[in-house]
């Protein structure tokens, strides 16, 4: 049986190699499509959730009050980092593009803030809204910006992108299935006469199948060692 | 060209366990009882064929194209199954054979086709030897028996050639060698001369007659009237799904064959 498998491989080497290469290429395409889908999912998780919250401080808050508030906010499990941004730093940051009007504006126009960077993918929009509501009740806080509108639009965009990637991946998957199926059929069609003759002269099913199974195992083994 | 005689022992061992059935040696090689085969309900191919073929007979089966000659042969080697009736091969109803027994039935039947059915990328030797390899015979025995079969069909010393480079007549000889190398009980020939010129056709017919002289039953389906005229054998005509018998060849049929049979 091994001898017949070896002979079959030798006689149909070109067809066999072409089949293996086609199947490998098809599987490579499928892996690429699945990778795109997986990355689209990761992007939704990473960028579709709130990542930043700005706490605007009321005028007259003392340094000690601000520092204790910053430490309290930094201790929240959803918060990765809480950074105090003074009015002067806010003006400097906004005028970094060279806008002289902003750079010369009175510093009182720029409220001091505490910028919260949230733990990626650990915070839901609802949880952030709940935290913002509670922080807003603190007397030294004038406003809390959660960028919810922007986050929701970005999330919508990413979910749409993921759905498109899913449709493309499904299409690629169907193509891969068709290619693999046709390749196997073509490879088998080249051997149909051989199978027909074997059946005609009284070969049993196991006698016919055996070498094909061994050939498949040999090709699979060769492909694995090549990888 | 010297042809060596091969003993033609009748060995009906188409049981999976390979046991010899001694009772089968005393029964007609083939009995068809009221055999019906229908592919389309409105046009049955065979509608009640009754036929008995004794061991060692040479029988021509003829009839117009589409009459059911090939179907009849396919039923015998179980490429098709009967819809009604029975086919007894050495006394056994082949319709009742299990899937596992069918290969063993086919080892007792050699089949020759018009289109040869050879594997083009195999050598002459490999195409003939395959019939013995499936039986699990040792390589030494296979080499010797293939050599004898190739000598009988006039292809001695050509075993290493690829069949794809052979002429049509030579390819048909390879097919015949494959059919007889197992020393089968019966050889079925389905229009074996259909792709050959008249001279080669007579040559191939002569080969089948030699095989028959060795004791092998030969059932030869053809619609070539020339062959029927040169060889006055038992003739079975399939017409309208039924068999008409003529023990003395064409002469025994009168005008029955005046339509549908070609003259080469």
Nearest to A204 among B103, B120, B127 (CB): B103
CB pairs under 8 A between A and B: 45
Domain carrying residue A129: 51-146
A41 and A82 inside one domain: no
Percentage of residues in chain B having pLDDT higher than 70: 83
Candidates A201, A209, A210, partner chain B, best to mutate (most B CBs within 10 A): A201
A135 and A78 inside one domain: yes
Q: Is the pLDDT of residue B255 over 60?
A: no
Structural domain count of chain A = 2
Task: Supply the pLDDT for residue B32.
Answer: 93
Q: How confident is the model at residue B141 (pLDDT cuts 50, 70, 90)?
A: very high
Task: Supply the pLDDT for residue B4.
Answer: 40
Q: What CATH number corresponds to the domain at position A118?
A: 3.30.70.3040
A131 and A168 inside one domain: no
Per-residue pLDDT tens over the stretch B35-75? 999 998 888 889 989 999 999 999 999 988 888 899 999 99
Q: Per residue, what are the HEC states of chain B? A: CCCCCCCCCCCCCCCCCCCCCHHHHHCCCEEEEEEEECCECCECCEEEEEEEECCCCEEEEECCCCCCHHHHHHHHCCCCCCCEEEEEECCEEHHHCCCCCHHHHHCCEEEEECCCCCCCCCEHHHHHHHHHHCCCCCHHHHHHHHHHHHHHCCCCCCCCCEHHHCCHHHHHHHHHHHHHCCCCCEEEEECCCCCCCHHHHHHHHHHHHHHHHCCCEEEEECCEHHHHHHCCCEEEEEECCEEEEECCHHHHHCCCCCCCCECC
Where does a domain end: A120, A146, A172? A146
B127/A197 touch (CB, cutoff 8 Å), yes or no: yes
A69 and A142 inside one domain: yes
Q: Nearest-CA distance from B166 to chain A in Å?
A: 17
Where does a domain end: A146, A170, A194? A146
Q: Nearest-CA distance from A185 to chain B in Å?
A: 18
A62 and A100 inside one domain: yes
Per-residue pLDDT tens over the stretch B195-211? 888 888 998 999 999 99
Task: Supply the pLDDT for residue A122.
Answer: 61
Q: How confident is the model at residue B11 (pLDDT cuts 50, 70, 90)?
A: low
Q: Is residue A151 part of a domain?
A: no
A188 and A218 inside one domain: yes
Task: Supply the pLDDT for residue A227.
Answer: 56
Task: Supply the pLDDT for residue A36.
Answer: 83
Q: Is residue A175 part of a domain?
A: yes
Please state the rounded mean pLDDT for residues B166-184: 93
Q: Nearest-CA distance from A1 to chain B in Å?
A: 11
A201/B119 touch (CB, cutoff 8 Å), yes or no: no
Q: How confident is the model at residue B177 (pLDDT cuts 50, 70, 90)?
A: very high
Q: Is the pLDDT of residue B17 over 60?
A: no
Interface of B with A in 169-188 (CB under 8 A): 178, 182
Residue-by-residue pLDDT tens, chain A, 227 positions: 777 777 777 777 777 777 777 777 777 887 888 888 888 777 777 666 667 889 998 888 888 888 888 898 888 887 888 899 988 888 888 887 777 787 788 877 888 899 988 876 666 777 788 878 888 888 888 888 888 777 778 878 888 888 888 888 888 888 888 877 887 777 777 788 899 999 999 999 999 988 888 877 877 777 666 65
């Amino acid at each position: 049986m091994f001898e017949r498998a070896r002979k079959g491989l030798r006689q149909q080497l070109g067809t066999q190699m072409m089949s293996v290469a086609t199947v490998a290429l098809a599987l490579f395409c499928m892996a690429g499509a699945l990778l795109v889908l997986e990355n689209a999912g990761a992007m939704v998780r990473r960028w579709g959730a709130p990542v930043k919250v700005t706490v605007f401080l009321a005028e007259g808050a003392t340094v000690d009050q601000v520092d204790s508030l910053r430490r309290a906010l930094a201790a929240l499990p959803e918060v990765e980092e809480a950074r105090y941004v003074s009015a002067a730093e806010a003006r400097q940051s906004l005028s970094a593009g060279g806008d002289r009007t902003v750079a010369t504006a009175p510093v009182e126009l720029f409220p001091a803030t505490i910028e919260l960077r949230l733990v990626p993918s650990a915070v839901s929009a609802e949880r952030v809204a709940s935290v913002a509501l509670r922080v807003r009740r603190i007397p030294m806080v004038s406003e809390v910006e959660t960028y919810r509108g922007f986050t929701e639009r970005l999330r919508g965009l990413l979910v749409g992108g993921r759905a498109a990637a899913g449709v493309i991946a499904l299409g690629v998957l169907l193509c891969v299935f068709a290619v693999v199926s046709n390749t196997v059929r073509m490879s088998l069609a080249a051997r149909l006469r051989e199978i027909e003759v074997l059946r005609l002269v009284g070969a049993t099913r196991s006698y016919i199948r055996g070498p094909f199974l061994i050939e498949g195992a040999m090709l699979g083994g060769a492909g694995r060692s090549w990888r | 060209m010297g042809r060596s005689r091969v003993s033609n022992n009748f060995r009906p061992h188409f049981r999976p366990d390979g046991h010899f059935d001694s009772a089968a040696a005393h029964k007609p090689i083939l009995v068809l009882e009221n055999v019906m085969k229908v592919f389309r309900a409105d046009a049955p191919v065979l509608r009640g064929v009754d036929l008995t073929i004794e061991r060692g007979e040479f029988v021509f089966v003829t009839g117009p194209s589409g009459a059911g000659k090939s179907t009849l042969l396919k039923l015998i080697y179980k490429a098709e199954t009967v819809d009604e009736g029975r086919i007894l091969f050495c006394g056994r109803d082949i319709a009742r054979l299990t899937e596992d027994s069918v290969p063993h039935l086919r080892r007792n039947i050699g089949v020759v086709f018009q289109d040869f059915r050879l594997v083009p990328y195999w050598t002459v030797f490999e195409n003939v030897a395959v019939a013995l390899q499936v039986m699990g015979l040792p390589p030494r025995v296979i080499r010797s028996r293939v050599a004898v079969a190739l000598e009988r069909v006039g292809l001695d010393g050509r075993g290493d050639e690829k069949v794809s480079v052979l002429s049509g007549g030579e390819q048909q000889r390879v097919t015949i060698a494959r059919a007889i190398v197992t020393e089968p009980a019966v050889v079925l020939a389905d229009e074996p001369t259909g792709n050959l010129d008249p001279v080669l056709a007579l040559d191939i017919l002569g080969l089948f007659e030699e095989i028959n002289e060795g004791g092998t039953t030969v059932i030869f389906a053809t619609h070539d009237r020339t062959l029927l005229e040169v060889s006055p054998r038992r003739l079975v005509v399939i017409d309208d799904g039924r068999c008409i018998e003529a023990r003395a060849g064409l002469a025994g049929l009168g005008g029955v064959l005046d339509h549908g049979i070609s003259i080469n």
